[in-house]
Amino acid sequence: MDHDHGYKRMFSHPEMVADLLRGFVHEPWVAQLDLATLEPVSGSYVSDDLREREDDIVWRARWGDGWVYVYLLLEFQSTVDRYMAVRLLTYVGLLYQDLIKAGATTAEGLLPPVLPLVLYNGERRWSAPTELADLIVPVPGGLEAYRPDFRYLLLDEGAFGESELSADRNLAAALFAMEHSRRPEDVQAVVHRLGEWLRAPEQRALRRAFSVWLGRVLIPGRFGGERLPPTNDLKEMETMLAERVKEWQEEFRREGLEQGKQQGIQEGMQQGMQQGMQQGMQQGMQQGEASVLLRLVERKFGVEAAAAHRERIEGADAETLLLWSERILTAESVEELFR
């Protein structure tokens, strides 16, 4: 729930919605929008059967003499909703009913255009149809002419490439990049860029929104540990994150050493009293050093780098392992680590 609410708060800022449209809706009409006029619209509608429905976020922006509405549905469920097109058709219908009741039509009685947009950040790739017609059985003989013509725009975060998530000064891309980061160092790099982008005094609320989301949602949820205190200064958040990275690395090291120690004791006992408990403990400690170093290399430089150097690490002596374990805290590349 913290994650869902945190995301919703992030997209309650017009700058986030504007960058989402600029960076990820690649359609000509977006360039004609006056994104400086973005404003939120009430998101609570009551259907005719008196069942209240809460949609996610609705924004509108000026497009010429009229408005364009952006219906932003945030999807955090672990399973893909096959009938999302039906849900969105219902929600857009409720939005139109509300606009009709409010008299928000053109002088000719026409309704404004609506962009139904699904922002999905689940682990599995989205596989549900984005067009309602694909959910209806084909009927011959002309009946297909009455089939509803409705589609929604899907933004599947996990399907974005690195180039899309590294867009210059795009806040939505920065959010997605942090969401899908696997290493704390990657998050730290994005936070550094955000601190450079969001310096203006009027961006204080947005700085705090990122800070709260990082400290209360992303970091404890992705990397474990206690929540970081919120701050209005992203530079301060970057400093706290850097300190937390060092703590995590030291924690991984201690865990690996303890695990290796226990493993060494067990192996020493299995080898027999003749070889001695001390030899088993020393061997276990060395295996533990190798295990924790492999884990740190994987966290900092990636799975492929750890796999490529596994044999070298596991074959190193205790003194060399200790040297590498100290050097990884400052090494900028795997080559520098093993130089």
Predicted local distance difference test score (pLDDT) of residue 64: 86
**Which one, of 57, 6, 61, lies nearest residue 32 by Cα?**
61
Predicted local distance difference test score (pLDDT) of residue 50: 41
Number of other residues whose CB lies within 10 A of the CB of residue 189:
15
pLDDT, average across residues 255-283: 62
Question: Quick check: 286 and 263 in contact, CB under 8 A?
Answer: no
Query: Looking at residue 131, what DSSP letter applies?
Result: B
- Round the average pLDDT of the chain to a whole number and report it: 81
pLDDT, average across residues 262-291: 63
pLDDT band (50, 70, 90) for residue 330: confident
Predicted local distance difference test score (pLDDT) of residue 3: 67
Separation CA 328–CA 38 (nearest Å): 47
Separation CA 183–CA 204 (nearest Å): 27
181-240 residue pLDDT tens? 877 778 888 888 888 888 888 888 888 888 888 887 777 777 666 666 666 677 777 777
Q: Which residue has the higher pLDDT, 226 or 12?
A: 12
Sign of CA dihedral 121, 122, 125, 130: negative
Q: Which residue has the higher pLDDT, 8 or 116?
A: 116
**Which one, of 297, 305, 288, lies nearest residue 329 by Cα?**
297
Question: Quick check: 250 and 292 in contact, CB under 8 A?
Answer: no
Q: Is pLDDT of 49 > 60?
A: no
**What pTM was computed for the model?**
0.68
